[in-house]
Amino acid sequence: MHLPTAASLLLSALPLAVATPTPGHGHKEKGLNTYAKEAGLKYFGAATDSPGFRERAGYEAQYPKYDQIMWKSDEFGQTTPTNGQKWLFTEPQQGVFNYTEGNIVTSLAKKHGKYLRCHALVWHSQLAPWVEAKTDWTKDELRAVIVNHVTRVAKAWKGQCYAWDVVNEALEEDGSYRKSVFYNVLGEEYIKLAFATAAKVDPKAKLYYNDYNLEWPHAKTEGTQRIVKMLQKAKIRIDGVGLQAHLIAEQAPTLDQHIDAIKGFTKLGVEVALTELDIRLQVPANATNLAQQKEAYKNAVGACVQVKGCIGVTIWDFYDPFSWVPYVFPGEGAPLLWFEDWSKHPAYYGVQEALKNGTKKGKPGKWW
Ligand code: XIL
């Protein structure tokens, strides 16, 4: 159903003046990042993994097409390495640092002039096993581990990151702290330590707290506001909150919920970005759930455009076969904007509409 029809192929081969500008074959459409900038955002971006680690193996034949859209088109003005900067890769053994994996994507970002979001310094998941293997860390020992990790990794990419996700997913759904090794030993002090250390090492990078299920107001968004205020009170720099936005097509937040959630953070004086947007559906995709997905994307991106202080949107890869979703949520998939056969989701046009229809009143970064 996603293969181009004979009619569409014929249309796309016709000269401009004759062709009907149907979605997907309009010749004058610009890429999403171009529309995003026109709407006052800094970027519309897509996260990507280094080729050796992409989720679905055996897709090497698709790489040229992928690279064309990822790096050489004006669809994306920003990227985030989906894995290579995580603790598991950067400090696999205590004191042994390795930036090879992370550098694959970050150097491509530099080469192609894309904004880079760096991800993630302190996180309970994809953590090197040695951190959790030791069960009798003293406070001083674990403080030193965090300071050393944040210092070395932030230094490795110093000056290259528009933003760093300094702490990722520190909260439970009820707004209480997740009982990670960091929290169990140090309490909320570990969050202060991570931000204070990152601020010292990379004064130019915006420092973000990043989490999922922050796209509608509830206990977890309140917990996140508590973290922002805690850091502000301690005079430790925090510049932004990242809303991962791993959403579900059939039960996504409304436009107003998105707006309220975002404003709950911007009113504290920090910026907001949607950092890992994807909107999964029950596979197989059909006309109904694809329409829901389109609406859901439109609302998420539209809210960011409408709220001053929401500076950009990143989707968590753009090509369905490279999404993490089917591996983590059985029975769900097709969460991105390009299908396996390279046709675009209806949601692509939902994003496009949201970007074309909305414009920020002020330029991002000016008002707060
Ligand atoms: C995911 C990656 O996309 C996968 O390749 C990996 O196997 C697991 O992690 N929240 C985050 C991201 O902050 O780092 C996660 O990325 C998705 C959920």
Q: Is the CB–ligand 1 distance for residue 80 below 6 Å?
A: no
Q: Are 293 and 279 in contact (CB under 8 A)?
A: yes
| Structural domain includes residue 21 | no
Query: For 322-348, how does the pLDDT look when each residue is reduced to its tens digit (9 = 90+)?
Result: 999 999 999 999 999 999 999 999 999
Largest Cα–Cα distance in the chain? 73
Q: Using the predicted structure, report yes or no on whether residue 161 has a pLDDT greater than 50.
A: yes
Amino acid 359: pLDDT: 73
Q: Using the predicted structure, report yes or no on whether residue 2 has a pLDDT greater than 80.
A: no
Mean pLDDT of 302-330: 98
Query: For 6-49, how does the pLDDT look when each residue is reduced to its tens digit (9 = 90+)?
Result: 333 333 333 333 334 445 554 579 999 999 999 999 999 999 99
Distance CA 317, CA 54 (A): 10
Q: Are 86 and 119 in contact (CB under 8 A)?
A: yes
Amino acid 28: pLDDT: 78
| Structural domain includes residue 8 | no
Amino acid 358: pLDDT: 76
| Structural domain includes residue 73 | yes
Q: Is the CB–ligand 1 distance for residue 323 below 6 Å?
A: no
Q: Are 128 and 156 in contact (CB under 8 A)?
A: no
| Structural domain includes residue 349 | yes
341-345 long-range contacts (CB < 8 A, ≥24 apart) are 341/2, 341/3, 342/65, 343/2, 343/3, 343/4, 343/24, 344/23, 344/24, 345/290, 345/293, 345/294
**Mean pLDDT score across all residues of the chain:** 92
Q: Is the CB–ligand 1 distance for residue 78 below 6 Å?
A: no
Residue 120: CA count within 13 A, CB half-sphere: 24
Annotation marks residue 169 as catalytic = yes
- Least confident stretch, 48-52, 105-109, 181-185, 361-365: 361-365
Question: Which atom number of ligand 1 is nearest to the Cα of residue 49?
Answer: 5
Nearest CA to ligand 1 atom 16: 82
Q: Residue 78 is part of which domain span?
A: 30-356
Q: Is the CB–ligand 1 distance for residue 137 below 6 Å?
A: no
Nearest CA to ligand 1 atom 13: 168
Nearest CA to ligand 1 atom 5: 324
Question: Which atom number of ligand 1 is nearest to the Cα of residue 119?
Answer: 14
Q: Is the CB–ligand 1 distance for residue 115 below 6 Å?
A: no
Dihedral in degrees, nearest 10, Cα atoms 187, 189, 194, 196:
170
Q: How many domains does the chain have?
A: 1
What values do phi and psi take at 41, rounded to 5?
A: -85, 160
| Structural domain includes residue 365 | no
Instruction: From 324, 327, 329, 332, give the residue whose CB has the most ligand 1 atoms within 8 Å, as the site to mutate.
Output: 324
Residue type, 167: V
Annotation marks residue 276 as catalytic = yes
Amino acid 4: pLDDT: 38
Within 10 Å of residue 57's Cβ, how many Cβ atoms? 9
- Dihedral sign for Cα atoms in the order 159, 94, 197, 186: positive
Assign residue 263 the CATH number of its domain: 3.20.20.80
Tokens found for residue 188:
């909320």
| Structural domain includes residue 16 | no
Distances (CA, A) of 325 to 43, 199, 277, 280: 24, 33, 12, 7
| Structural domain includes residue 25 | no
Query: For 234-265, how does the pLDDT look when each residue is reduced to its tens digit (9 = 90+)?
Result: 999 999 999 999 999 999 999 999 999 999 99
Query: For 171-186, how does the pLDDT look when each residue is reduced to its tens digit (9 = 90+)?
Result: 999 999 999 999 999 9
Amino acid 305: pLDDT: 97
CA of 316 to the centre of ligand 1 (A): 9
The residue to which tokens 């056969």 are assigned: 341
Residues of the chain with pLDDT > 90, as a percent, come to 88
Residue 343: CA count within 13 A, CB half-sphere: 11
Q: Is the CB–ligand 1 distance for residue 324 below 6 Å?
A: yes
| Structural domain includes residue 24 | no
Q: Is the CB–ligand 1 distance for residue 82 below 6 Å?
A: yes
Among candidate residues 268, 260, 194, 172, the one with its CA nearest the CA of residue 228: 268
